[in-house]
Structure 1
Amino acid sequence: MAARSACQQLLERLKPFRAAEGEPQRPWLQVVQMASGKGGVNLSAHCVQAPKPAGYSVLGLTAAEVELDVLTGENRFNRVDLYEDAGQSLSPWVDVGQIEGSFAMGMGLFLTERHRYDPATGQKLTNRAWNYYPPTHKDMPRDFRVKLLKNNKNDIGIFNSKATGEPAVCMSSVCLMALQQAVAAARRDSGHNDWVTINAPSTVEDTQMACQTSAEMFVLS
């Protein structure tokens, strides 16, 4: 909204240079050259959007299929399907890229990126890639399908569009939920039918311990 207001300021300043009365519109390059050169027009605009524009909802659906190694806690997402309401997308390629990147950030939030501190000094221990694990390309779903809801107007947004980045972070919680279902299935196979809480981030260590498997369960008779 702030960018739109700044553009409107510039259009108003350029209005006297766009065409003389009764003449066709001048090319954009010529308008800018005339305004900047002879007219001395300031071609930069500043705007702070206030008050905050009205909010709107972004809806989405996500499904995830995870494969879990109950001995190590290592997991792999074989497929994720994500369907998001982006209003009338200004650029589907950009929006899909935003969604994929945000989903990857969310996977780190829910699965790998744990902060650890020294209990005596409070010093942060997870301070480099050796011990703090953001997602890499190997953590991404093997089959990642992103679709945008079509022909959905948003009267509040710029040209009926909607934000696409932040909602996908929330929808990545499906990874944690799928992992919890996999842990619950492993626990049932081990004879543990009680409820287990899976907190975020559920690292490989946490996931393995939640399965409550032991070496004795894997002895061939």
Structure 2
Amino acid sequence: MKHQRRLYMLSKENFDRWSEEYDESIQKSKGYPFEGYYDVLGYVQGKIKGQGTVKVLDIGVGTGQLTQQLYKNGARIFGLDFSEKMIREARKKMPEAVFFQQDLNEGVPTEIREEKFDYIVSSYVLHHFHNTVKMGIIEELRNLLYPKGEILVADVAFENEEDLNRCKQKCGNEWDDEEFYMIGKEMTEALEKNGLESDYQQISSCAGVLSIQSNN
């Protein structure tokens, strides 16, 4: 399935160039958009149960920041990213993980569609997609879950429109109008209309985690 949307804020080449400095740049970042970054990752990691036996697919694996700890705990990690050099950095952290290079605009690779997962996770990726496209991606991914599996989407996000506008006003020129940030209330309501059970947890002033349960 192909998702129609605008181009990425950063090209694949720019992400390639960013790859070696990505982890350090996140550590040095303060405030929007990465406020509470490690708390967000920790929340997702804490939701993964039975780590020594589970299969986890990381959409937009980047340098492996999110799934590295899960890998150390024995989880089987599969990672998808459009940047070859980001994958190279992730492989250093998780040498036995399985990686695929493909743009999410082209959907999920056939090899991944032939698998099933206990958890599908994503961190700071889906804000590049319009909310209607996010829904399409989630619909595609939920078909890859085992019964009682779960999708966990961590990203720049807000509980409601008022919180988003408050952050936008505070950030001034630092705010990125080119990105599409989740509103937790809107996403959970839209997912419910599609028959999907979900919940949203705000973690920092500008980031949260959307959890979607399998209906199987």
Short-chain TM bin: under 0.3
If you compute each CA radius of gyration, which structure gives the higher value, 1 or 2? 1
Q: TM-score, normalised by structure 1?
A: 0.21
Q: TM-score, normalised by structure 2?
A: 0.21
